[in-house]
């Protein structure tokens, strides 16, 4: 059996459809997602997951209606302020991946920075919230950083490149969970998910709970991760 994943990432999909199926405004789905976020954080911590990454807002999400974007900014600030003490008490180190667009309200950016400062020495689990994040953008910025640092083209390898990504100590993602049944990468942590396993539970994110999360971990553990290789018996070698 494959060991439990060290790094799990979640694409939190389905909030709008959850609301629309109940004849509610899309914002109601985002509000309902708060309970799921806390439940998944607690489930991951209890299961021994060391790194949990949540895709909260992409660089492409700025194209959504302005009233929805404004609501999301207010909601995220409320959630951060409401749960900061709990996250710190649980020994969770919090990080925010992205947060570069000037359209992010200054009070929200300060709350992000304050939470990172508050929890920076915690090591029970690292929670990375991808907010204003785009995987392609991270790769472009890493390339720019390499060029500025004066590294010669012949000296660039994967380890050099990865060292210039945001939070370079972040390990590769082992498992990505994308709720709602959609099967897309959506520009999420493109470098880090290169060899991740994926699961696509059909449940919408606001209905996703700890048992669903643990079921995804169990599914992951049933898989054989070969990283491009083949099992020994495929080459005519003994199975023992």
Q: pLDDT tens-digit profile of 129-158?
A: 999 999 999 999 999 999 999 989 999 999
The set of residues, in sequence order, having a beta carbon less than 8 Å from that of 139 and lying 6+ positions away, is: 165, 190, 191
pLDDT digits (tens, 9 = 90+) for 51-77: 999 999 999 999 999 999 999 999 999
Q: Specify if 165 maps to a domain.
A: yes
- Low-confidence stretches of the chain (pLDDT < 50) are 238-240
Give the CATH number, domain containing residue 104: 3.40.1180.10
Q: Specify if 2 maps to a domain.
A: no
Query: pLDDT at position 227, please?
Result: 73
Count of the separate structural domains present in the chain: 1
Residues 201, 11: Cα–Cα separation, whole Å:
11
Q: Please pick, among 13, 111, 138, 174, the residue that the annotation labels catalytic.
A: 13
Which pair of tokens denotes residue 180? 């709602």
The 3-state DSSP class for residue 202 equals coil
Q: Specify if 32 maps to a domain.
A: yes
- 13 belongs to the catalytic site: yes
Query: pLDDT at position 239, please?
Result: 45
Q: Specify if 238 maps to a domain.
A: no
Query: pLDDT at position 207, please?
Result: 98
Q: Please pick, among 15, 39, 61, 174, the residue that the annotation labels catalytic.
A: 61
Domain residue limits at 92: 7-223
Closest by alpha carbon to 130, among 211, 12, 6?
12
């Amino acid at each position: 059996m494959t060991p439990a994943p060290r790094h799990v990432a979640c694409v939190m999909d389905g909030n709008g459809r959850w609301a629309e199926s109940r004849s509610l405004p899309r914002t109601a789905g985002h509000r309902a997602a708060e309970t799921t976020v806390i439940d998944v954080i607690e489930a991951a911590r209890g299961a021994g997951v060391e790194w949990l990454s949540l895709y909260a807002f992409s660089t492409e999400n700025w194209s959504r209606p302005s009233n929805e974007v404004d609501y999301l900014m207010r909601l995220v600030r409320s959630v951060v302020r409401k749960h900061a003490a709990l996250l710190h008490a649980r020994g969770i180190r919090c990080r925010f991946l992205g947060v570069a667009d000037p359209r992010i309200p200054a009070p929200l950016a300060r709350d992000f920075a304050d939470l990172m400062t508050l929890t920076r020495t915690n090591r029970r689990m690292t929670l990375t919230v991808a907010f204003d994040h785009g995987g392609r953008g991270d790769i472009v910025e890493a390339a720019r950083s390499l060029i500025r640092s004066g590294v010669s083209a012949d000296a660039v390898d994967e380890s050099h490149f990865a060292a210039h990504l945001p939070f370079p100590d972040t390990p590769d993602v082992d498992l990505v969970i994308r709720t709602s049944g959609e099967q897309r990468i959506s520009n999420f942590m493109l470098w880090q998910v290169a060899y991740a396993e994926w699961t696509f539970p059909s449940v919408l994110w606001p209905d996703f709970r700890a048992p669903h999360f643990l079921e995804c971990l169990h599914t992951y553990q049933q898989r054989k991760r070969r990283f491009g290789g083949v099992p020994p018996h495929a080459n005519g070698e003994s199975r023992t």
